Amino acid sequence: MTLALFLSVLIITIILGLPVAFALLVASMALMIQMDLFSSDILAQSLVNGVDSFTLLAIPFFLIAGEVMSEGGLSTRIVRLATSYVGHRKGGLGYVAIMTSVVLAGLSGSAVADAAALVSILYPMMKAARYPADTSIGLLAAGGIIAPVIPPSLPLILVGVAGGISIKNLFLGGIVPGLIMGMTLMFMWSFLVRREPLETSPKASKAEKRAALKEGFWALLLPIIIIGGIRFGIFTPTEAAVVAAVYAILISSAIYRELTPRKFYKILLNAGRSTAMVMFLVGCAMVAAWLITVAQLPQQLAELLGPLVDSPRLLMGVIMALVLCVGMVMDLSPTVLILVPLLMPVVNMAGIDQTYFGLMFVINCSIGLITPPVGTVLNVVCGVAKVPMSAAVRGILPFILAYIGLLILFVIFPQIITIPMNFIIG
């Protein structure tokens, strides 16, 4: 009864147009009233306690780092570097987009920021080279969603906080799945453009490659610093966010000299707004998570999924199908904050590796960012490139199918993720 009440109130309020954060509060209040526990003091205290976390300090600093990278010239230098090495191949700009998306994922951790940067830089070049517009847009959007999987990643931080999973393990475990996503895009792109009459660019000389590598070196060094520092225990993921922000500011202002005080003020303003929205959503979700535990909703869900607990792969398949459907109509952050606390007890009962589950959840939710009608990244790409949604949907469909195929492969063979993850974590 309580599970049905919580879900029905949540769904109805979202359908009525209430922001997800407020919908979570209303659903939580409905649970409190149903259990005769309603108290405005408890509600306010739980809301404040929900964001009183040292781990969550990583969010504003990673947001600042991502904004600085976009405004400070790091993104454009990564594009130049990739172009010098693979731009001469048939469909070379597509491979440039994929390589750039993987590298940018290790810099910003934001799918929206990465996709916007890719489109603004590469789409005009692809259009001028007469690449198929819909396929190009689809590729750029699909490349953008690698960012939530490869560290540093804001969604991985949210999953860690919501599910009580080690963020360090999530960060280190996300490297290989993110690279596999990039390889999947390369395979699909080569298949789609094999018969297209595309012009190829001249091959860059060794001197041009060295110059591009020299320019992009400082940008490439950042993910190495972050991942290496976390892996060898030099700093925590939260401290890594501060290191990333300071490093990006120093490189953009002192070496690339593209970060002006005016730009920096704008960056702080944007990061502050984004942090406020995320933190309020996290606070509301933590209120709901506390009440979900008090109302024993996970136990009710476990009873529903009880027959599947003895078959972890089948359970993961059912959970992934559920998350995929929810992700099509809800953004990534609320999906994580609503479903992860609800599903974690069931996952633990089935003996599924927590880090593997967290990574699979984020990969699945990332696919939702490029599925119509709510796909945030898809809408951003259409807005930046000024293309109709219908064209973007046609272009993105093959890449969505490729990602879903990869997701199914990860469910059937979890060792693809767990073996390299355990090796990297040590």
Distance between CA atoms of residues 90 and 170, nearest Å: 36
Q: Which residue's structure tokens are 């972890």? A: 312
Q: Give the chain's length.
A: 426
38-58 pLDDT, tens digit per residue, is: 777 777 888 888 778 777 888
Mention every residue, 6+ apart, whose C-beta is less than 8 A from residue 411: 313, 316, 317, 320, 360
Distance between CA atoms of residues 265 and 255, nearest Å: 19
Q: Give the dihedral sign, CA 156/404/103/353.
A: positive
Cα→Cα distances 405→26, 341, 408, Å: 37, 26, 5
22-38 pLDDT, tens digit per residue, is: 888 888 888 888 888 77
Task: Report yes or no: 328 and 374 within 8 Å, Cβ to Cβ.
Answer: yes
pTM of the model: 0.86
Domain ranges, ordered by start, for the chain: 54-425
Cα→Cα distances 182→106, 113, 257, Å: 13, 17, 31
Distance between CA atoms of residues 86 and 96, nearest Å: 6
Residues 175-200 have a mean pLDDT of 89
338-392 pLDDT, tens digit per residue, is: 889 888 888 998 899 999 999 999 999 999 889 876 678 888 888 888 888 888 8
Q: Give the dihedral sign, CA 144/231/184/217.
A: positive
